[in-house]
Amino acid sequence: MLSSPILKREPHDSSFCSLNSTIPEVDFAMENSDDEKDAVFSNYMPKELSLPNGTKFVDEVLSGQSDRCLENFRMDKQAFYKLCDILHSKGLLRHTNRIKIEEQLAIFLFIIGHNLRTRAVQELFRYSGETISRHFNNVLNAIMAISLDFFQPPGSDIPPEILEDPRFYPYFKDCVGAVDRIQIPVMVGIDEQGPFRNKNGLLSQNVLAACSFDLRFHYVLAGWEGSASDLRVLNSALTRRNKLQVPEGKFYLVDNKYTNMPGFIAPYNGISCHLNEYSGGYLSRDSRELFNQRHAVLRNATDRSFGALKSRFPILMSAPPYPLQTQVKLVVAACALHNYIRREKPGDLIFKMYEHDTVVQFEDSLPPLEVEHPIMQVENPALDIAFDTEQLEYSSQLRDSIAGDMWDDYVSDLSTM
């Protein structure tokens, strides 16, 4: 079983989120006193602004067309109401004297779906900054508490994206998805910034994800410093208690930042790759080039998943002014919500934009950050997992076998054209 996101702190690392059960609980004891604070705040508001404008706004959106709900709250009405019911039935959120669950969730989704700061949301919802922040954090913690429910490990069936495409079947029949990382902007204090500064000089957290070919996240590990090497982050995902697990006999695709090893098939190094094997009359020259081309098209599932995630929740595209732990939790919560919406409304407009297998490359150009990391290895770190020579040789032979079978069929098909 694959683990799901969790909040955890390593002895020498910054805040981590990977999937597990150690999730902060929402403190409901504070709600009554907070409602009293809200009431006091409203007494000082100008009379013309004393109406619950936020309630009106949410009611108008939810009583309108479903597209308006998607535009404002990043999911359609049916998915929105169902999520409210889930959070309520599990006791994670409750109505307060002034703000119903629907409005609490709307505040949270409006912030992460439009990358807004508290002051801007205050103007729309007409609540104090303290009230907005409190409900934002309550909803974030509630979603973290159920995040495991939205991360499902790969099954034993062949993914339809492979089974139904002669470019990939039967060659990649044992492939369950693709693994890659993305740099998410982060904000930390000056005394913490060192390790968070990535190779482009920007402050970021390194987020690793295992994605399915239908744009879902199987596993997410957030919180590694931006300067951490890709192989080191993968190593952490494979060796931590709530680890990324690969079903026996299956494998994920990775790019050439990683190494070819059991459970992970990388492209051949030093081999050029034309994205369309038939475009402009170009034909692949050998089995390794053809393998790399089709490997890249399949592996593009990670770029499309990340693209849909950032398009839906643009707060991930800039460093929000929250504590580091909150910034890390936001990544995991956004991925969980992405999976939930994909399950409930797989054909919504945002997903439709990213369902094609066109290769899209995202730049690592994201905003800044830093932090001292005494034992960091930047160049060619070794994996803590020990694979013997026989296992590594088998992985190499598996890749060669896939490439060889693919090439034989490719040449045969060309001869009949």
Q: With beta carbons less than 8 A apart as the criterion, state whether 46 and 109 touch.
A: no
Round to the nearest angstrom and report the end-to-end CA distance of the chain: 45
Kindly tell me the burial class for residue 194, based on how many C-beta atoms sit within 10 Å of its own C-beta (0-12, 13-18, 19 or more): middle
Q: What pLDDT does residue 52 have? A: 52
Tokens, residue 296 = 């890249």
What residue ranges in 4-75 does DSSP mark as E strands?
A: 6-9, 15-18
Which strands make up the sheet holding 217-225, listed edge to edge? 6-9, 15-18, 217-225, 204-211, 175-185, 251-253, 264-265
Q: With beta carbons less than 8 A apart as the criterion, state whether 309 and 333 touch.
A: no
**What whole-number distance in Å separates Cα of residue 152 and Cα of residue 215?**
12
Q: What pLDDT does residue 273 have? A: 64
Tokens, residue 263 = 């459970």
Tokens, residue 143 = 């979603």
Q: Are strands 15-18 and 6-9 parallel, antiparallel or unpaired?
A: antiparallel
**What whole-number distance in Å separates Cα of residue 99 and Cα of residue 315?**
24
Tokens, residue 226 = 């931006």
Q: With beta carbons less than 8 A apart as the criterion, state whether 90 and 147 touch.
A: no
Q: With beta carbons less than 8 A apart as the criterion, state whether 188 and 324 touch.
A: yes
Q: What global pTM score does this model have?
A: 0.83
Enter the DSSP assignment of 197.
B
**What whole-number distance in Å separates Cα of residue 79 and Cα of residue 84?**
9
Which amino acid would we find at residue 303? D
- Which one, of 82, 95, 249, lies nearest residue 175 by Cα? 249
Q: What pLDDT does residue 54 have? A: 84
**What whole-number distance in Å separates Cα of residue 273 and Cα of residue 260?**
18
**What whole-number distance in Å separates Cα of residue 331 and Cα of residue 151?**
14
Give the mean pLDDT per block of 10 residues along the chain (417 residues). 38 46 33 40 36 81 93 96 98 94 97 93 91 96 97 94 96 98 94 93 96 97 94 93 93 94 94 58 83 95 97 95 96 98 95 74 36 29 68 94 96 83
Kindly tell me the burial class for residue 384, based on how many C-beta atoms sit within 10 Å of its own C-beta (0-12, 13-18, 19 or more): exposed
- Which one, of 378, 21, 35, 320, lies nearest residue 185 by Cα? 320
C-alpha distances in angstroms, 48 versus 218, 322, 332? 49, 32, 40
- CA angle centred on 377, ends 371 and 379, rounded to 5°: 120
Q: b/e map of 242-280 (b: 16 or more CB within 10 Å)?
A: bbbbbeeeebbbbbeebbbbebbbbbbeebebbeebeee
**What whole-number distance in Å separates Cα of residue 60 and Cα of residue 133?**
23
C-alpha distances in angstroms, 376 versus 76, 226, 232, 360? 44, 11, 9, 30
Q: With beta carbons less than 8 A apart as the criterion, state whether 407 and 290 touch.
A: yes
